Amino acid sequence: MLSTKLLALVCAALPLAAITRQEVVFKTTPQGELKMTIFYPLNWKAADKRPAAVFFFGGGFTGGSPAQFYSKAAYLASRGMVAASAEYRVKTRHNTTPRESFEDCRSAVRWLRKNAAAQGVDADRIAAGGGSAGGTCAMSIFAEEPWDAASEDMAVSAKPNVLLLYNPAVDISSIGGAPANWSPKNQLRAGLPPMVMFFGTDDKHYLTATEYFARARAMKNPVELYFGKDQKHGPVGAAGSVDDCREIAQLTHRRKS
């Protein structure tokens, strides 16, 4: 079952203690360099072909920090993956719109795939995810009219193989600088990759997410929705402890239809 595989990916049983990490510049923009912090298992080597994940922080496309997802990236590295948390441009630091945020998240996935051999990563097993606006950014990678910088190597796919989504906004039509057709709900179609979504039932985005889930299932997309009863926006979001994956498994329930 998809749910078993994805929960095994996100919520493995017990973490190992030791990991290593490094910071790399994955993109240079007119507003400055963007960095990615990559976490590796202790026994990592460049010749490996490990599954990988890259996360994007929340903050309404206005602020936020990659540090939000350090605990999850470190946790997945402790379970044998290569996992990263990446910067992207936001309004307060770069005076940009969601369009630039979406572009940067595509660039981050593309960089990881292009450098898979040096990073010990299997280029065909890359997940992308994030919380709130970061989850929306991960979903936007599959927009029918994607946004890419002219300098991007278009021979390398920016599309992840799996989406790991924590309370993403699937409707961003009310956000300034984000036209309605940019919303994931308006980009929904058959053929999307496997995705898992975590929400609280008191999250303002939850109702729209359940509608998205139902439509995605009707299109035969492999999607799972887990919810925490009476939890608000971000109940299983970016900032939790290293053990928060197990807490997710205990606090959430699967929505079947």
User: pLDDT per position in the chain (257 positions), as tens?
Assistant: 344 444 444 444 434 445 799 999 999 999 999 999 999 998 999 999 999 999 999 999 999 999 999 988 988 998 899 999 999 999 999 999 999 999 999 999 999 999 999 999 999 999 999 999 999 999 999 998 878 988 999 999 999 999 999 999 999 988 877 777 889 999 999 999 999 998 888 889 999 999 999 999 999 999 999 887 777 886 444 333 333 444 444 545 666 55
- Report the pLDDT value the prediction gives residue 187, as an integer from 0 to 100: 94
How does DSSP classify residue 142? T
Task: For residue 23, give both structure tokens.
Answer: 């910071």
Number of domain units in the chain: 1
CB 107 within 8 A of CB 139: no
DSSP element (H, E) containing 121: strand 121-131
Q: What is the largest CA-CA distance in the chain?
A: 46
Backbone angles phi, psi at 223, to 5 degrees: -125, 140
Alpha helices in 87-181 (DSSP H): 91-94, 98-114, 133-140
Residue labelled with tokens 């206005």: 62
CA distances from 153 to 82, 89, 107, 123, 254 (A): 22, 20, 9, 15, 39
Task: For residue 249, give both structure tokens.
Answer: 């498994």
Domain limits at 107? Answer: 2-255
Q: Of 233, 199, 56, nearest to 137 (Cα)?
A: 56
CATH number at residue 42: 3.40.50.1820
